[in-house]
Amino acid sequence: MEFQDAKLETRGYSLYYGGFQALRDIDIQIPENRITAVIGPSGCGKSTFLRTFNRMNDLISGVAVEGGVYIEDQDVFQMDPVELRHYVGMVFQRPNPFPKSVFDNVAYGPRAHGERDRAKLAEAVERSLRAAVLWDEVKDGLTKSALELSGGQQQRLCIARALAVEPDVILMDEPASALDPVATLKIEELIQELKKSYTIVIVTHNMQQAARVSDYTAFLMMDEEDRAGYLVEYGPTDRIFTNPEHEITERYITGRFG
Amino acid sequence: MSDSLRAKKVTLGHLVRWAASGEHGMSRARASFVRRQVVQQLAFGVLWLSGLAAVGILLAVVGYVVVQGARVIDWEFLTTPPAGGLASTDVGGMSTTVVSTVYLVFWTIVIAGPLGVLAAIYLVEYAEEMEGSRGLIPALVGVVRFAVEILAGVPSIVFGLFGYALFVSARALGWSFSMRSAAVTGACLVLPVIIRASEEAIRCVPRSHREASLALGATKWQTVWKVVLPSAAPGVVTGIVLSVGRVVSETAVFFVTLGGTVRAPDHLFDLASPGRSMALHVYYLAMETRAFDKAMGTSAVLILVIILINLSINLISRRLAARLGGE
């Protein structure tokens, strides 16, 4: 898959944990304002791959990388990670609101980036909560602890918190896997809505979810010998799910392993 | 299940009959059941007695001191300075020792609190990242952690001696017996307490909170300051309040650094003056005067203060935890 103006790109990207190679030679281009799903069996390096784009892997000692990772043709490894994460937000597998009020959770990012003006903060909080379709549920309880919200609400709060920083890209690491079906549906609808303004990369375990929400799908698999993750195939979601090029992709998406 | 096994409760009567009769007429299962019940009853009895003994000893000490002390405690005792001198007299109270103790606690915590919390942050947030790697700094971190462990177990008089040598008697500083000598030495004493409590509390903050903060583009320091420390606050506060208790009850260290004058420093910032803490006052009264009743009175006040401090630990950490956790 080649795009004229890819938002994110990796070229010959490999990642090592000490002596173990977790990702091998991945070339991918991720288009702007689309939802790209990353699927693959447990342990194939999906999350590690996702965390490449905001350099969260830097937090783990002993990680080494090869190859290039680019956001709008800028090498992310040349950027300050704090600045990079301003453009590339992230939503985690388990809702992880801070033990602070709803307002303070959403205002955390803008405040960290230096915003002190109360009116501007209040505006950013409302805009982000509306965008995350949570505003109507929490507008009367902005000072309540975020931990009082339900799991699904907490995850939408985490999305609002990421949006408040005004990123270009949002990385989602199995954002609905800890939620019940109703909350999952809400998150999926929200993701669809968000792609109008954001480039979204979502890691998921759930084939149906990938098929439902994404425009493009990348299938990662681990090497049988050394268990390094590699990109099997990448393309429009419709094609991957109806007419995959590789037999192994078909076996995976039809649930015969993984 | 046979009827014999259905009896759940074994009374003392059963045991006596069992002991008297041997195991005649009992099935093997029944015998095993009874034997296990006997062991259970014995073990439970021993545990119960141990608990009772611990509470009894505590109550005896506290009760004795408070009852003895209550005879001399009145408003006058609390508000007049000690009379000084060796004889037991009717006049003289403990007011200046309360003042000295408050100043001493204040300055000790002002020095050791921030230092201990910052050191704990360093050890957990910055140093642990480097663990496993080689080099000078990781090696130093290992040394620091080891030192904290050792310091926590050093007898307090050793700290006192150190303070005496370095601050009190050294010509270079010329601090002599004073509030500043005592506060700095006391800070050394409680530093390991604060570091360990804070370290534990900081380590308990979920990794997911740190990741969330960093992923939002916060710097590491912002993450520590805005997310990690607030979450760790109950544990940090507990460590600090424990240290307050330690300073209030410590005698040996201040015997060789604070001096023993019955006059209190003029004000909080009168750091060059010597003083006498409550615990020290008990020691002087008991060992060097005949005012044993007043030693008891002072001890009773001291014990009440310690009890209050311990109650406040519970209260503060529960409050903080509730505020942070949203009920």
Nearest to B217 among A92, A94, A165 (CB): A165
The predicted structure's pLDDT at residue B210:
93
The complex scores an ipTM of 0.91
The predicted structure's pLDDT at residue B1:
44
Calpha distance B55→B49 (Å, rounded): 10
The predicted structure's pLDDT at residue B327:
37
pLDDT top residue among A254 and B117:
B117
Determine whether the interchain pair A108/B214 forms a contact, defined as Cβ–Cβ distance below 8 Å.
no
pLDDT top residue among A60 and B121:
B121
Strand A169-173 to A199-203 pairing:
parallel
Cβ contacts of A94 on chain B, cutoff 8 Å: 208
Beta carbons within 10 angstroms of residue A213's beta carbon: 23
Q: Which residue of B has its CA nearest to A94?
A: B208
Calpha distance B293→A174 (Å, rounded): 71
- The DSSP secondary-structure symbol of B131 reads T
Taking residues A147-158, what's their average pLDDT?
A: 93
Residues in chain B, pLDDT under 50: 1-2, 4-5, 326-327
The CATH label, of 1.10.10.10, 3.40.190.10, 1.10.3720.10, 3.50.50.60, for the domain at B77-325 is: 1.10.3720.10
Query: A interface mutation test: which of B126, B207, B216 has the most A CBs within 10 A?
Result: B216
Q: What is the pLDDT of residues A111-152, one digit of tens each?
A: 999 999 999 999 999 999 999 999 999 999 999 999 999 999
Q: Which residue of B has its CA nearest to A98?
A: B209
For residues A164 and A106, the answer to whether their CB atoms sit within 8 Å is: yes
Calpha distance A111→B242 (Å, rounded): 34
The predicted structure's pLDDT at residue B5:
47
Q: What is the pLDDT of residues A196-222, one digit of tens each?
A: 999 999 999 888 899 999 999 999 999
Query: B interface mutation test: which of A98, A116, A143 has the most B CBs within 10 A?
Result: A98
Is A134 part of the contact surface with chain B (CB cutoff 8 Å)? no
Longest dimension (CA), chain A: 57
Strand A88-91 to A169-173 pairing:
parallel
Domain ranges of chain B: 3-70, 77-325
Is A162 part of the contact surface with chain B (CB cutoff 8 Å)? yes
Determine whether the interchain pair A92/B218 forms a contact, defined as Cβ–Cβ distance below 8 Å.
no
Determine whether the interchain pair B218/A83 forms a contact, defined as Cβ–Cβ distance below 8 Å.
no
B290: three-class secondary structure by DSSP: coil
Is A92 part of the contact surface with chain B (CB cutoff 8 Å)? yes
The predicted structure's pLDDT at residue B27:
78
Q: What is the pLDDT of residues B177-227, one digit of tens each?
A: 999 999 999 999 999 999 999 999 999 999 999 999 999 999 999 999 999
pLDDT over 60 at A174, yes or no:
yes
The predicted structure's pLDDT at residue B240:
92
The domains located in chain A, with CATH, are: 6-94+169-253 (3.40.50.300)
Calpha distance B240→A208 (Å, rounded): 53
Q: What is the three-state SS of chain A?
A: CCCCCEEEEEEEEEEEECCEEEEEEEEEEEECCCEEEEECCCCCCHHHHHCCCCCHHHHCCCEEEEEEEEECCEEHHHCCHHHHHHHEEEECCCCCCCCCEHHHHHHHHHHHCCCCCHHHHHHHHHHHHHHCCCHHHHHHHCCCEHHHCCHHHHHHHHHHHHHCCCCCEEEEECCCCCCCHHHHHHHHHHHHHHCCCCEEEEECCCHHHHHHHCCEEEEEEECCCCCCEEEEEEEEHHHHHHCCCCHHHHHHHCCCCC
Q: Work out the pLDDT band at A258, boundaries 50, 70, 90.
A: low
Q: Is B309 left (phi over 0), alpha (psi -120 to 50) or beta?
A: alpha
Interface of A with B in 138-157 (CB under 8 A): 144-148
Is B23 part of the contact surface with chain A (CB cutoff 8 Å)? no
